[in-house]
Amino acid sequence: MPISFFSRKPKEVPAPAANAPVKAEVAYDPALVDALIQQHRDLLLLLDKAKGAVQATHFEDVKGMLDQFGVGLAAHIKRENTDLHPYITARLRSDDRIAIVKDMLVGALRTERAVNGFLKHYGGYPVTERNAATFFSEIDGVITEFKKWVTQEESFVYTLYKSPDNY
């Protein structure tokens, strides 16, 4: 005889999050925004160097530059996700707080996916004389998208990061 879903005993539901560990509050770091902006500059410089290496037909240098860019981008995003976004989220008090935070994260995720797709492609198919023209146009698109993301972050998101007394 089959067991009915209605005759089953309910599963034990864990106690509310009262027993869950409390997350430590992210402290304000007055040097954070300057460090993040410097990372932006360094990352853009790496993209420009990779483009220049292709122009100079130094194809063997491109993969290392793109790998370095990928590592730097991952570190940058990790720092934003651990230090910047939680701090801002905890302190914003405006009515559209959720929309602001969502826009921050969606923009970062969209750009990260596009850039990582580019990096993955050229990590598997290194730049050669045959695909240099394609790489050149694609890296221009990546640079444009990355600059757009950087501009948005620096002109809007980073301005939300203030000392605790300024909220």
Looking at residue 145, which CATH number applies to its domain? 1.20.120.520
Answer whether 87's CB lies under 8 Å from 104's CB: no
Please tell me the predicted confidence (pLDDT) of residue 112: 85
Please tell me the predicted confidence (pLDDT) of residue 82: 93
Whether 25 is in a domain gets the answer no
**Domain count of the fold of the chain:** 1
DSSP state of 126: -
**Among 62-66, 90-94, 141-145, which stretch is predicted with the lowest mean pLDDT?**
90-94
Whether 12 is in a domain gets the answer no
Q: What is the pTM of this model?
A: 0.81
Answer yes or no: is pLDDT of 16 > 60. Answer: no
Whether 22 is in a domain gets the answer no
Answer yes or no: is pLDDT of 29 > 80. Answer: yes
Answer yes or no: is pLDDT of 14 > 70. Answer: no
Whether 3 is in a domain gets the answer no
Range of 86's domain?
30-166
Answer yes or no: is pLDDT of 22 > 60. Answer: no
98-130 confidence digits (pLDDT tens): 787 788 788 888 888 889 999 999 999 999 999
- Give 76-84's long-range contacts (Cβ < 8 A, gap of 24+): 76/36, 76/39, 76/40, 76/43, 77/108, 77/112, 79/32, 79/35, 79/36, 79/39, 80/36, 80/108, 82/26, 83/26, 83/29, 83/32, 84/32, 84/36, 84/157, 84/158, 84/161
Answer whether 36's CB lies under 8 Å from 75's CB: no
Please tell me the predicted confidence (pLDDT) of residue 15: 55
Joined together, the tokens standing for residue 71 give 């590592």
